[in-house]
Structure 1
Amino acid sequence: MTDDTPESLIPYDEIVQEALRQVVGRVLREVEETGGLPGGHHFYITFQTRMPGVSIPKHLAERFPDEMTIVIQHRFWDLKVEDDWFSVGLSFGGVPTTVSVPFEAVTEFVDPAVDFSLKFQANAPEPPEDHDDADNDVPAAPSATSEDGSNVVNVDFTRKK
């Protein structure tokens, strides 16, 4: 974009982010409905641990104060998917645990079985008081990427300051 391009009054980047997060919800809902993962599919889901609505045990929050990745593959149970969040039972160090994650906290969704990934701009939790860094409020571009270039959706919206 050039300096002559007017600033959009339509929040395209937010609309695309929301739509891509719905892809994650749809995939998880299909797994919930069928009761398991088809073929060799499995998921790595990275999310921000301090986002409102995230529910993880205290020891995990201390170990992963900003972001953590969960794996949905062989050992998971009680997958529940709603419009805005999902929860799943997983084992951490042999201890069964349920995690609940709002989709807006998800920063990455990967299915390595088919070399597919979605990366989302970070929706930062409330910044700490006395923290004013105006340069960090430009969102990253949403994208769905794979290392070999297949299954690529790359959307780049730049906000003009």
Structure 2
Amino acid sequence: MRFLATLLILPLLLLTGCGDNDEPAASVESYSVYYLVEFDENLSQFYDVTAIYTAASGATVTKPLSETTPMSLTVPADAAQQGIVLRAVATVKDPLPEADATRDYRLYYWTQMSVRADRADGSSEKVYDREKADIHVVKGSQMADFTRSHPTIVMTDFSYSR
């Protein structure tokens, strides 16, 4: 009988000993953000590239880009209330530059956004990591048609919010 009582009580004791001893995670103090907007000179020959991104102040900034642009910055947690974004858009140039009808143009881009949450206790955790790439190969003789059918190319539209 004593053995049976022990078998019945032992699981209860084990379950009550399984309390949550983990301490709550330290609060996030800031976010370390890495942005990359990479594109080739062929894309910038026919398109104007603009990046819209969250700056260190938390404000959204619009910036024209003329070349590949990596950015690393720290956004305080209270400044990131509205989230962290990276949007890159290529808009066809007006007037459209003349394309060499005898060659092929490679219109390439690659974008990336990584966000790491930095905690008060010194720990950090990657909370967002996305990338997007695309390439269009266009014959010079078809560039006007291509740009008419693709007046805007959304290169990326990344968004992180806690």
Q: Same fold (TM over 0.5)?
A: no
Greater RCO (Cα-Cα under 8 Å, separation 6 or more): 2
Please identify which structure carries the higher strand content.
2
TM-score by length of 1: 0.25
**Greater Rg by CA:** 2
